[in-house]
Amino acid sequence: MKYRTILLFGAPGSGKGTQGKILGTIPGFFHFACGDAFRNLRIEDPMGRIFIEHSSKGELVPDEATIQLWSRNIQASTVNGQFDLAHDTLVLDGIPRNVNQAKILQDTLDVKAVFFLSCADPSKMVERLQRRALRENRLDDANLDVIRRRLETYETETKPVLEFYGPAIVHTIDAAQPQLAVLRHILNTVATLK
Ligand code: ADP
């Protein structure tokens, strides 16, 4: 049985995490943020080291480690009853993050909608990331070069995922709007999904 899934998609700083956290509080929705799962690893964990090595440079973690982390977390959440595969909608934030990951997950996910939080002005996202650096203690948000590299990685590696899923299920939302307007747009669409 495939997981009924909606994807939150957008550049670093586009607000995926904020929306994902809110959606995850709705009964019947389970939020998985890939970046959070990486940050929850302990530094002694070999996967934690791989994460630091790549994220500190603004690069993606290699696919094998990423997919392993994803399976490990989803399995644990299923076993402890947080995620009910038969009834819940999975809200994915930050995964799949390149076309290869999308292909690997193709047999596992039944993607009903992709919410593309689109922001025409990169300086807005840089501003958001820099604001969150101290608040959320994120080293990768504190360094302007790393932020720039992440935005490049997003353009070259992540953005092609939109084409993989195709325009029929991609919903583009202006990420520069107030968060409430973005949420309203997502909820209105989710309410119409079969
Ligand atoms: P943001 O979207 O603001 O860049 P995330 O918390 O989603 O922040 O991701 C932080 C970092 O974690 C990324 O820069 C990347 O190194 C790593 N990461 C998160 N998700 C993935 C993924 N699906 N594949 C590879 N690397 C990932």
Return all residues near 14 (Cβ < 8 A) that are at least 6 apart.
117, 118, 119, 125, 175
Average pLDDT, the chain: 95
- What local confidence, expressed as pLDDT, does residue 139 receive? 80
Q: Which of 57, 61, 124, 147 to mutate to test the pocket of ligand 1 (most atoms within 8 A of CB)?
A: 61
Helix or strand or coil: residue 67?
Answer: helix
pLDDT of residue 124: 85
pLDDT bin (cut points 50, 70, 90) of residue 121 is confident
Phi, psi of 34 (to 5 degrees): -65, -40
Is the pLDDT confidence value at 120 over 90?
no
- Which of 47, 131, 132, 140 best tests ligand 1's pocket when mutated (most atoms within 8 Å of CB)? 140
CA of 187 to the centre of ligand 1 (A): 25
Of 5, 38, 135, best ligand 1 pocket probe by most atoms within 8 Å of the beta carbon: 38
pLDDT at 160: 98
Residues in the chain: 194
Average pLDDT rounded to a whole number, residues 154-158:
97
Atom of ligand 1 nearest to the CA of 35: 6
Predicted confidence at residue 91, as pLDDT, reads: 98
pLDDT tens per residue across span 86-110: 999 999 999 999 999 999 999 999 9
Task: Tell me what the mean pLDDT of segment 33-57 comes to.
Answer: 94
How far, in Å, is the centroid of ligand 1 from the Cα of 93? Answer: 9
* Shortest-distance Cα residue to atom 2 of ligand 1: 12
pLDDT at 118 over 90: yes
157 closest CA partner among 11, 8, 5:
11
Is the per-residue pLDDT at 116 higher than 90?
Answer: yes
Phi, psi of 131 (to 5 degrees): -65, -35
pLDDT class of 43 with cuts at 50, 70, 90: confident
Q: Is residue 140 predicted with pLDDT exceeding 90?
A: no
pTM: 0.95
Question: Residues enclosing ligand 1, CB less than 6 A?
Answer: 12-13, 34-35, 38, 54-55, 60-61, 66, 94-95, 97, 101, 140, 150
Write down the pLDDT at residue 192.
94
Q: What is the mean pLDDT of residues 147-159?
A: 96
Phi, psi of 158, deg, nearest 5: -90, -40
